[in-house]
Structure 1
Amino acid sequence: MENFSRSWAALRTAVAELSDADFALPSGCAGWLVRDLVCHLVIDAQDVLITLATPADAEPTRDAVTYWEVTGTPPTGDDPLDALTVRLAAAYEEPWLLKFHLDDVGSAAGRAAGLADPAARVSTRDEVYTVDEYLSTYVLEWTLHHLDLIAPLPDAADPPAEGLARSRELLEAIAGAAFPSSFSDKDALLTGTGRRAPTDAETAALGPLAGRLPLILG
């Protein structure tokens, strides 16, 4: 729960510190500008609110690792929801409107998460999770998108160290293999999810795992 709160607060702060010009830069998500990514974060925050308000009585069917659908094919932008996100982002017109909306719904999502019982069960995507496991998925989501947000901004602060470490743990569990200790948490996440191609030395260090990368999470 603490990792969720820290990761989300840091990401919202990073958005609040963007200049208007930053919104037109390409983000680390292929095909998306920074403004498109921020619009996606608004949708993510809405999903958190909806899920926390959707209690379930059944036994959990998934956890923070099995939540993810993994493919080796990067998104093309043809997915209807991806395309809708771009159109929605453009409709805001002024960057401050996106900032305002994210701060509004994002703050509410953060408060709802802080008030939720970690052991309670909630439902989303026709699956059941404990609140703790569900929110853990967003530690990885927030951390990756924080890296996407600052990709064109070399002077911006990285995500919290605790979130990077937890996200690496989750990605290694998803992969079923550990990244070499020579990889920083940030480099493991960037190369593991295809946000950066590994160097020749990194590929050699990865060994058999290199042939299974990137892990595209959906």
Structure 2
Amino acid sequence: MTTARLVQHRTTPTRPNIGPPLTAALPSPELAALRIAYSDIATIVASIEEEDSWLPTRCTGWVVRDLLVHLLGDVQRALVALATPAVGPPDRDAVTWWTGAEPTDDPDFRELRSLRTIASAWNLEDLVRTFVETTRAVVTLAGRTPPEALVATQGHVLQVVDLVTTLAVKAAVHHLDLVVELRRPGPRPEPLALVRCTLDALLGHPAPQDWPDERWALLGTGRVPPGGGERRALGPAAARLPLLG
């Protein structure tokens, strides 16, 4: 999926799983963005010490190692999805994937307690190595899979290019969460551009072009509240934030 396709996505995919053979896998901007996103996170976590892994993130109550375990779960799910062919038509794309997301509220802190238990049991070096190896496997397998191939994940069917896009978007957003206290660089332009296009599509129109991609990512995902000028620019749509969690 190109960034243009994100804006012009189909809200209800109807293409049946028939037609010409799948094309050979080719490099794509979406895959390049995913490779960058995973590589940058891997570089950051490989550079931290044990005490750094207990620093807070933007995710309420989560420390760095909690978030890394959560990211590892996403990467493992991606690896399974890429090895799980599905019969179409797809029922989600890179934008509608987020409209069916479950609420992120966790009043009883069940997810946090589960993450903390698992994260505490990991040796940091082993956790980092597993994350790095698994992300490399995902990028390699995605690069060998035709972008229009259909795969299944979390009860839905979507094209590989859409799966890759959602993974890059989530990685970029969590990259922003990860570095809030680590004093490491934020995401690069390529994954942030996919976040912007996804948020614009969910919003229904482009956000103001003078908003930096990182700022729109933080606003659109509810990481920071909009200021007065930003709220006026969004108008009634400001009440819809966050557009994705």
Q: What TM-score do you get using the length of structure 1 for normalisation? A: 0.90
- Render the CA deviation track for 1:130-168: whole Å, top value 9, x for unaligned: 1111111111101001111111133x1121101111111
Correspondence for 1:51: 81
Distance 1:111 1:184 in 2: 31
1:177 aligns with 2:205: yes
| 1:163 to 2:230 alignment | no
* AA in 1 matched with 2:73: I
Deviations 1:30-62 (A, max 9, x none): 121111000111111110110001001222111
- In structure 1, the residue matched to 2:66 is 36
Match of 2:68, as an amino acid?
V
- AA partner of residue 210 (structure 1): A
How is 1:103-122 mapped onto 2 (pairs within 5 angstroms)? Answer: 103-122=132-151
- The aligned counterpart of 2:227 is 199
Q: Percent identity?
A: 35
- Shift of residue 199, structure 1, vs aligned partner: 2.2
Whichever residue aligns with residue 137 of structure 1, its letter is: T
Aligned to 1:130: 159
Q: Give the SS at the match of 1:153.
A: coil
The whole-number CA distance in structure 1 between the counterparts of 2:89 and 2:101 is: 27
Unaligned runs of 5+ in 2: 1-30
1:116·1:131 contact (CA, 8 Å) conserved in 2? yes
The structural deviation recorded for 1:120 is 0.9
Summarize the Cα distance change of 1:185–1:129 in structure 2 as closer, same or farther, 3 Å threshold: same
Residue 81 of structure 1: how far off its partner (Å): 4.7
Q: For the residues of structure 2 that align with 1:95 and 1:5, how far apart are their CA atoms?
A: 22
Q: What is the alpha-carbon distance in structure 2 between the residues aligned to residue 180 and residue 72 of structure 1?
A: 28
Which ranges of structure 1 fall in alignment gaps of 5 or more residues?
none
Runs of 4+ in 1 over 4 A off after TM superposition: 70-74, 79-82
* Structure 1 range deviating more: 39-48 or 168-177: 168-177
8 Å Cα contact 1:4-1:136 kept in structure 2: yes
Residues 53 and 73 from structure 1, CA distance in 2 versus in 1: closer, same or farther, beyond 3 angstroms? Answer: closer
SS at match of 2:157: strand
In structure 2, distance between residues paired with 1:20 and 1:165: 32
Instruction: Check conservation: 2:61, 2:112, Cα contact below 8 A.
Output: no
Which one has a bigger Cα radius of gyration?
2
Instruction: Count residues with an aligned counterpart.
Output: 215
Aligned-residue offset at 1:82: 4.8
C-alpha distance 13-77 of structure 1, shift in aligned 2 (>3 A): farther
Rate the CA distance shift 1:77–1:44 in 2: closer, same or farther, 3 A. Answer: farther
Say whether 1:15 aligns with 2:45. yes
TM-score by length of 2: 0.80
